[in-house]
Structure formats: C-alpha cells, structure tokens
A = this chain, B = another copy of it.
Amino acid sequence: MINVGVIGFGYWGPNVVRNLMSIVGMRVKMVCDSDPHNLKRAKALYPHLHFSLDYKEIIDSPFIDAVAIVTSVSTHYEIAKRALKKGKHIFVEKPMAKSSVEAMELIKIADSKKLVIMVDHTFLFTGAVAKIKELMDKNMLGDLYYYDSTRISLGLFQHDVNVIWDLAPHDFYIIDYLIRNKSCRISAIGIDHFNRGHENIAYITVHFKGGLIAHINTNWLSPVKVRNILIGGQKKMLVWNDLEADEKIKIYDRGISVDGQEGIYKMLVEYRSGDMIAPKLDTTEALKKEMVYFYECITKSQVPFNDGYAGLRVVEMLEATSRSLKQDGHEVCLHLSNP
C-alpha cells in the first residue's frame, strides 16, 4: 500500500484526491493547504483524512510514501526538494519548476535516491492523445507539417507566471511526447496589458528540424474558451477539439499532392478530400490513468515517460519563450535535454 499526502487543495487538488481514492494500492492519508478555506472544503468531503496547514507535516511524516504537489509553480522546487530528500516519490504539477536549473537539481536528487518523479502531464493520458500517438506510430498521418494550438479563455490570471507558463506547457509536453524531436528554434511575442510583469496574451512559434512548425495561441482575455489543436500531416490531418463531448478527434482524409515536375498548375488539381472519421476514444478519466501509472512506476521501479526529464524539457522550452519575449520575438535555438 502506497500512502500518499496531497499538498494543495485549490483548483486541481480535489481531482487528484478523488482519483487517488479510487485506486487500489494507494491510500490518501493527509491533505495540506495553506489556505484554511480550502482545507475546510477538504474536511467536509473526506472527514476521515488528516489535515494540515503546513506542507512540511506531510513531507516529514514517516507514514507517507509519496507526495502529490498541486501548488502554484513558484513553490514546486522547494516542496519537491524537501520531499525527495525525505525519500518520498513525487507527483508534481506542470510546469515542474521555475527554471531548468531547479528542475535538473530535482532530477539529480531523485536519481541518487532512486525515487520516482512524475510530472503531471495529464493530457498524455487522455483517449485523444492515445489515439494521436497510435496514428503516428502507425504512420497514418505521414510526415507532420504543422501543429497549431489555440488555448484561450477568460483568466485565470496567475500571479507568479505569464500566460505561456500557464497554458503552453500542455502543448510543449504533447509535442515532446509525439515527435521526440529535440532540436528546435522558438520565438514568442506577447503583451502585458496591465503592467503586471506577466504577459496575458502570447503567441509562440516553434520550428522543428524537418519542416514541422508548431504554433500556440495563448490568451487569458478571451470571452470564449477554446481548446483546439490542428495537426497537419502529409497523409491525413486531424482536429482535436477538447471541449467536444463526443468526437473530440476528427481525422480528415484531406491534403494535397505536389507534383514538382509540372509545377503549380498540376498541383492545383491534386487536392484530396475524402471521408472524415471521428474514432471512438477511451473515455477513462486521464488523471485516474496517470495515477495508476504513478502507482505502477513506484511499485515496479519504472521510469515514467512523464519523468523529470520530460518536465525539464518543458521548462527549457518555457525559458526559451521568456528569452524570446524579451527580445521582441527573436528566435532562440534550443537543444532539449535527455537523460
């Protein structure tokens, strides 16, 4: 039995607790939050648990094997470091840390103590990403031309990071998982309308070797919520609308064939427009699958694919966007870290 303490019961923490409670082999023992209001909500739902305002109580407890860190970004490093040093496996929210230096340090501690770091890259556990991965593994999409993500909604303005650090990590870890191309050039342009020191709208472009271009539109000031990703391949193209109840993924048998010999006039007639398929997707809650995987990685001493290095690469991409932002969109070259 893995005994787990959960640090942070704000927006996402309740989901972590609820899913942990349904997993055979894991047991939530303690919940901590520095905000008494959050703690009160937790107590009403789970009166049988232990509660604390101080996360150190969880970390220092000898009865806790693993810690879920579901707090704001700026606190990840400090909490995670203490937890690892105390010999706890950690599950930590994305992005893993404020800097790649911090992330690397956490990786080293975990390595030296043979502890699991799992970074909460939730979408990798959705039926949608599983299907896209499957299509790509079977080369159903062909070479990728572009990945175009729109991730916009009204708020919530974070106080310690900009809109990119809030929303783009999802796209960064999805791209990293799908294409495993470690060499890229990143540029980012944004604006901070309220002089808060953090951009509230930003556009990111990433050129990967081999012709794939990724673009991410992030916006905290949109009146409508959009979570829409287009992936264009040589053979097939797909649209992933994560807000659709059914039919989140639509695969289009559409594209063009270019005939270099005969030039543009030939090309114009080679448009292909076939059927669209919305494949049935696994609808198991992603966070539940991720938690089961966390359990397996701990008990089988396995390295998760969403390990510290996956978390580090996301932080590296975020740092590159910050550098580019400061230089009005100047491209930053990047070689992502691997074990």
Contact = CB atoms under 8 A, between A and B. Distances in A.
Interface of A: 21-22, 44-45, 47-48, 145-146, 148, 150, 152, 154-157, 159, 185, 187, 189, 191, 193-196, 201, 203, 205, 207, 211, 213, 215, 217, 219, 221-225, 230, 232, 237-239, 243, 245-247, 252-256, 258, 260, 263-265, 267-268, 271, 273-280, 328-331
A329 B264 CA distance: 27
A329 B196 CA distance: 26
A284 to B, nearest CB: 14
30 contacts: A21-B44, A21-B45, A22-B44, A47-B48, A145-B221, A146-B201, A146-B219, A146-B221, A154-B273, A155-B271, A156-B268, A157-B267, A157-B268, A159-B264, A205-B329, A217-B217, A219-B232, A221-B255, A222-B237, A223-B254, A223-B255, A224-B239, A224-B246, A247-B276, A253-B280, A274-B280, A275-B279, A276-B277, A276-B278, A329-B329
A238 B13 CA distance: 33
A143 to B, nearest CB: 9
A215 B222 CA distance: 13
A224 B145 CA distance: 15
A163 B217 CA distance: 19
Among A189, A280, A328, the most chain B Cβ lie within 10 Å of the Cβ of A189
A203 B238 CA distance: 20
Contact of A230 (B194, B223, B245): B223
B211 A193 contact: yes
A189 to B, nearest CB: 5
A154 B223 contact: no
A27 to B, nearest CB: 10
Contacts of A213: 189, 191, 201
A222 to B, nearest CB: 6
A122 to B, nearest CB: 19
Given A196-B264, A264-B196, A275-B280, A157 B246 contact: no
**Which of A217, A223, A328 gathers most chain B CB within 10 Å?**
A223
Contact of A221 (B48, B191, B237): B237
B189 A205 contact: yes
A15 to B, nearest CB: 14
